[in-house]
Amino acid sequence: MVSRDPSPGERAVARCNQLGVPPFSDETGLLYRPWLGPGFVATVEAVAQWMREAGMSVREDAAANLIGRYEGTTPDAPALLFGSHLDSVRDGGRYDGMLGVIAAIEVVAGFHAHGERFPFAIEIIGFGDEEGSRFPVTMLTTRAVAGVLEEHDPNAAFAELCDANGINVQQALAGMGLTPRGMMTARRRREDVLAYVEAHIEQGPVLEAEGRALGVVSGIAAQRRFEIRLHGQAGHAGTMAMSLRRDALTAASEMVLAVDRVASEAQGAEGLVATVGSLRPWPGVVNVVPGDVTFTLDVRAGTERQRDDAVEAIITAMGDIAARRSIELDLIPRENLAATPCDSRLLGLMERAVAQVTGQSARVLVSGAGHDAMIMARLAPMVMLFIRCEKGISHNPAEAVLPADVDDTIAALTAFVRLFAGN
């Protein structure tokens, strides 16, 4: 049998798979790569090496983002940025975020192999905290690069937020020799950035259902996140009468169902979804009536109006439940992202690039998932390319892509760069 070199798509998939286990995951038997954890640090090292092999110079910025740069025909030329995130959710898939970074490295490796350069530099950014899977905030590192971190959090209050082990952002950054305020110096100058391009698995079923490898994103849904803290009264499970209880968990249970009802029953709100993804009772033992509960709320919709109407209905329902059950309710806003359209000129170029590669007119679709691109759109014109994933499954270890689709991805991004250069 004649063995052959792997295709760029096969190599990209193999690299993502390699990064799906320790030491690139913080847990054995599942992928969990939170921002600034040991798996994250090991991943940065591995990806940096692949960037170097693709002819890029590599640095880490003041927000612990990994940046590779492939120079243009002149030094210090402004850059076309590719990017996505290096972190993962807990028990996540191997391609969410990572594939966008690894596929972009293959694009540059292709140019490097032929000595092909452009009047602009190409940079690839692996962002640190798109998921918000460690601290109760998200995309601080992207905001730092886009120059909007200070506006988002003028006092760097995020520094005090803790992970599940009580380590705060400031302490985690200190481990890397970084500081919360220093992160703000990762900002890029507008004149140095021509555009931002993100390739990402679709995380939904549309492309697979239509038999297409690739799609072009028209825009990204609006999103809000909250942390909800309920305070009742802990008591003995054997002695506290049902009529006297102020059980924070039964109140939370009713609230979770209210979230589901509001989102399911809303009329005409396109893409409206609402999720309680984390719920922690305290003290969380068998014979204590739970006195406290903390849970998360994530609400998304095609427009801010639809999203905010749903948030308002959910908050009203929660207030009623809390009052009826004599529970104190604290609602802490954690994220607020506007619906973000992609740039129409870049979208047109990406449609042409996809059509060149697939021989079909490109499918254009909306992203319900959030992406670094939402923040990067504040800095530069932005466009996204979606890659089919099996059964639309994501945020799940069953996440899967076809290497042939990744070959198409790399070819489409390569065509995009040439079209962007006017060739």
Contact residues for ligand GLV, defined by CB under 6 A: 131, 369-370
- x/- mask, Mn ion, residues 32-71, rule CB under 5 A, reads ----------------------------------------
User: Minimum Å distance from CB 300 to ligand GLV?
Assistant: 8
| Interaction of residue 96 with Mn ion, rule CB under 5 A | yes
Kindly list the distances between the CA atom of residue 233 and the CA atoms of 141, 242, 247, 289, 378, in Å, as whole numbers in the listed order.
Answer: 39, 13, 6, 8, 45
User: Minimum Å distance from CB 276 to Mn ion?
Assistant: 17
The conformation of residue 48, written as its DSSP 8-state character, comes to H
| Interaction of residue 370 with Mn ion, rule CB under 5 A | yes
Binding residue positions for allantoate? 225, 287, 300
The beta strand positions in 186-312, using DSSP E, are 193-201, 214-220, 222-231, 235-236, 273-275, 279-282, 288-289, 292-301
Amino acid (1-letter code) at residue 90: R
408's contact among Mn ion, ligand GLV, none, with CB below 5 to 8 A by partner kind, is: none
| Interaction of residue 97 with Mn ion, rule CB under 5 A | yes
**DSSP percent split of the chain into helix, strand, coil, nearest 5:** 40, 25, 40
Can you tell me whether residue 103 is helix, strand or coil?
helix
| Interaction of residue 208 with Mn ion, rule CB under 5 A | no
Binding residue positions for Zn(2+)? 85, 96, 131, 200, 395
d(CA 251, CA 321): 7
Binding residue positions? 85, 96, 131, 200, 225, 287, 300, 395
Are 325 and 312 in contact by the 8 Å Cβ rule? The answer is: no
A 10 A CB-CB count for 310 gives: 22
Can you tell me whether residue 173 is helix, strand or coil?
helix
Closest CA to 357 of 402, 422, 412: 412
Are 366 and 302 in contact by the 8 Å Cβ rule? The answer is: yes
Question: Can you name the residues that pair with 279 across neighbouring β-strands?
Answer: 295
Question: Residue 399 or residue 407: which is nearer to ligand GLV going by CB?
Answer: 399
Question: Residue 88 or residue 414: which is nearer to ligand GLV going by CB?
Answer: 88
Question: Residue 78 or residue 132: which is nearer to ligand GLV going by CB?
Answer: 132
Question: Residue 369 or residue 411: which is nearer to Mn ion going by CB?
Answer: 369
Nearest to ligand GLV by Cβ — which residue? 370
Question: Residue 131 or residue 407: which is nearer to ligand GLV going by CB?
Answer: 131
Question: Residue 96 or residue 405: which is nearer to Mn ion going by CB?
Answer: 96
User: Minimum Å distance from CB 358 to ligand GLV?
Assistant: 26
8's contact among ligand GLV, Mn ion, none, with CB below 5 to 8 A by partner kind, is: none
> Which span sits near Mn ion by CB under 5 A: 89-97, 150-158, 277-285, 327-335?
89-97
* Chain residues that interact with Mn ion, rule: CB under 5 A: 96-97, 369-370
